[in-house]
Chains A and B, each alone.
Chain A
Amino acid sequence: MSLILLIEQVLNGLQFGIMLFLMAAGLTLIFGVMGLINLAHGSLYMIGAFCAAAVAAATGSFMLGLVAALAGAAIAGALVELVVIRRLYAKDHLDQVLATFALILIFSEGTRWIFGSFPLFLDVPQFLSGPVTLPGGIQYPLYRLTLIVVGLAVALGLWLLISRTRLGVQIRAGENDREMIAALGIDIARLYTVVFALGAALAGLAGALVGAIQSVQVGMGEPVLILAFVVIVIGGIGSIKGALVGAILVGLTDTLGGIFLPELLKLFLDPSTATSIGSSLASMAIYILMAAVLILRPAGLFGARA
């Protein structure tokens, strides 16, 4: 195991974590402000990827595709909030889970109806394709480096938004006391729609960015959704900072666990057994991490409410 391989894997883990953060940030924001569990967040990720693929195919421009992904997911998010979610705030979590699960089915089959069952094509733009050589002779795909930078920039932007703007003040107030900010004359309904659309746009952005290196297909959002839930549970539900730390922890654990556990087991098992047990253990690693965090800090790393 060379140092170069190790650094490359850390970068991979970081990149994976940053993309998870984009998903988890929206999820945790929506839960924090509105107290809503939104299972359809993965569908918004898928909508972003499909919008990007369709627009990029029609115009030939990946950047236009990204804009379409942000806009498409935000519009879908706002519509869903206005039509369905709005009726769920007063209901308990079970009703919310049921309704948003129905939304997953509707979005998946609707997407299949429009785009068909076969995966769409979305490629990395020309100017970001191929590897670059980092100091120390590490070859790393430029696109993945860009993902890390974009993700960190979004994290910074979110932090500025929440700590320095009027909207941010309202969001923080909404997390603490919903009745009070309504009483202070803030249009809570509009705030909810804006927050929901913002969360949706982040998910759509993640879907489009990741879609370029993965497969743009129906159902692509659900595996990511599960990981995003793990992230916000680890980070503490409702905390953006927790989402960032949790996402990077999960990304690194998943990536490095997949490499080192089989290597570790090879020290005292034969290679093929070590590989199969190691990969099974590695897929459990993030859940073990989650359990450990919950034992030590039941509210998550940065969770306010227990």
Chain B
Amino acid sequence: MKFVTLAAAAALALSISGANADPVKVGMITTLSGGGAGLGIDVRDGFMLAVKQAGNEDLEVVIEDDQQKPDIAVQLADKMIQSDKVDVLTGIIWSNLAMAVVPAATAQGKFYLSPNAGPSALAGKGCHPNYFNVAWQNDNLHEAAGAYANFEGLKNSFLLAPNYPAGQDALTGYKRMYQGGLAGEIYTKLGQTDYAAEIAQIRASGADSVYFFLPGGMGISFLKQYKDSGVDLPVIGPAFSFDQGILQAVGDAALGVKNTSQWSKDIDNPVNKAFVESFQAEYGRLPSLYASQGFDTANLLLSAMAKADVKDADAFRAALEEADFKSTRGNFKFGPNHHPIQDIYVREVIKEGDVYTNKIIGKALTSHADAYWSECSM
């Protein structure tokens, strides 16, 4: 008897869900443990804040931790696609993980919305109609830093980045805009924590400035050691080395440093103000750029869900392309390769009361697109 009731209930449930638009199932693969966890947690919290605010019951999110390991990320993607039957994947922080997951997922007809990693390989020849990057192409913030270095009149930069896809994109991006000479260029190990040897080389190189891309804990280590070494050349970096999560751990060593970002908590628009306030109220800390990217990614998805059914891939893709949502960055639109065209700001690290944070001091690039869109044909 029980079986009959269950079957009846199941049939009823099926008929009800069939009457509405299909629900959307999102698989979020992100880094929630280990040294890079701060980034993934911010993306997740930003994303879930938008989901909560929307209160859309047709949206279901499955979240898993990739431990910053490509093999785990691939396993999770397979599991989410095959057994959880997700429609959309998102969440990956690191470019090497994105390269392992995204091409296979989009080839299976799933949508991938990147809240962070934007390797050049996926923006140019490897672009895909179902791949959207809501954050930036990896080179973007570095290009802005190069432009800012020209503005400051720097002539002899020393460059430092980890040896992985985003590190190579970083230095390529900086050199694309920067017009001065190079005092040196070093690729360090990914996850390296001691930079004494590199700092000694910087000291000996006769450089007039240092440009470094060292996200997460790597940047904390570098800045503390740099301050202690007595080398006092000006440093510039992308926002990744100065995000809200790590500034408190760096302390005074970061004060006054200029960095480039597509987002800052003081971008003056009502959406951003509301986002910063509600994020603080929900989680008790200031949001970072990663949190804003997660928030925007969720809102992009929700805007597309309001316009089209996810099972109708062409209509859903067209709805995503319109990017008809209120971004924390103000105006937001996609270029032809589904990467953002956006303004990039220069920020300075300041101290507000007891809290280290960033303040916008100018705009480095306006309506900037990435350098690879012309190679993309879709």
Contacts and interface: CB of A to CB of B under 8 A. Distances in A.
Interface string B38-71: 1001000000000000000000000000000000
A108 interface: yes
A119 B220 CA distance: 9
Contacts of A2: 204
B193 interface: yes
Interface string B16-42: 000000000000000011110110010
A217 B218 CA distance: 11
Nearest to A272: B185
Interface string A118-142: 1111011000011100000001010
B191 A108 contact: no
B244 to A, nearest CB: 9
A280 B163 contact: yes
A250 B251 CA distance: 31
A147 B193 CA distance: 16
Interface stretch (B150-158, B223-231, B309-317, B341-349): B223-231
Contacts of A64: none
Contact of A279 (B38, B186, B249): B186
A130 B232 CA distance: 11
A280 B168 CA distance: 14
Interface stretch (A83-91, A168-176, A193-201, A218-226): A218-226
A166 to B, nearest CB: 38
A118 B38 contact: yes
A280 B189 CA distance: 8
A279 B203 contact: no
Interface stretch (B85-93, B129-137, B194-202): B194-202
Contacts of A4: 204
A143 B251 CA distance: 17
Contacts of B32: 117
Contact of A259 (B197, B225, B245): B197
A283 interface: yes
Interface in A216-247: 216-220, 223
A121 B196 contact: no
A15 interface: yes
A178 interface: no
Given A119-B249, A220-B193, A275 B187 contact: yes
B33 A255 contact: no
Contact of B248 (A112, A118, A223): A118
Interface of A: 2, 4-5, 8-9, 12-13, 15-16, 108-109, 112, 117-121, 123-124, 129-131, 139, 141, 143-144, 210, 212-220, 223, 255, 258-259, 271-272, 275-276, 279-280, 283
27 contacts: A5-B203, A8-B200, A9-B197, A15-B196, A108-B33, A108-B34, A118-B38, A118-B248, A119-B220, A121-B250, A129-B228, A130-B228, A130-B230, A139-B203, A141-B230, A144-B196, A213-B194, A214-B220, A218-B37, A219-B37, A220-B35, A223-B191, A255-B196, A255-B197, A259-B201, A279-B163, A283-B189
Given A129-B228, A213-B224, A215-B217, 14 more contacts: A121-B249, A141-B230, A214-B193, A214-B217, A214-B224, A217-B249, A219-B33, A223-B193, A255-B196, A258-B197, A275-B186, A275-B187, A279-B163, A279-B186
Interface of B: 32-35, 37-38, 41, 163, 185-189, 191, 193-194, 196-197, 200-201, 203-204, 216-218, 220-221, 224-225, 228-230, 245-246, 248-251
